[in-house]
Amino acid sequence: MNMKMDLQIKLRKGSKGEKIVAPYINQWCVWDIPEKEWTEAVAEAVARAYVLGARHAITEMSRSIEAPRFDLPVVWENRT
């Protein structure tokens, strides 16, 4: 399985017109960070959180594939 995960950093205006730095993951805004608070350390933290989240998602998907869970026995209901 090849799942693309996309991190983009966009500069936009907030609800009060202030400049906001907004990291997006797969087109979803995940944070609103005021531009004045955006530092190299914050950028590094966002990138590390993105990688950590991606690794976690991959691990959970792999576990699910390796050990699928089935709720057995299946109970059939006749609705005819």
How far is the C-alpha of 29 from the C-alpha of 39, rounded, in Å? 18
Please provide residue 6's backbone torsions phi and psi, each rounded to the nearest 5 degrees: -120, 120
Q: In terms of DSSP H, where are the helices of the chain?
A: 40-66
Q: Is residue 31 part of a domain?
A: yes
Q: Which amino acid is at 74?
A: V
Closest by CA to 22, choosing from 32, 13, 14, is: 32
Q: Is residue 33 part of a domain?
A: yes
Q: Binning pLDDT at 50, 70 and 90, where does residue 2 land? A: low
26-47 pLDDT per residue, tens: 888 888 999 999 999 999 999 9
Domain of 11, in residue numbers: 7-66
pTM of structure: 0.65
Task: Domain count for the chain, please give it.
Answer: 1
52-75 pLDDT per residue, tens: 988 998 888 888 787 667 777 777
| pLDDT, position 68 | 67
- Which of the two residues, 4 and 1, has the higher pLDDT score? 4
Q: Is residue 45 part of a domain?
A: yes
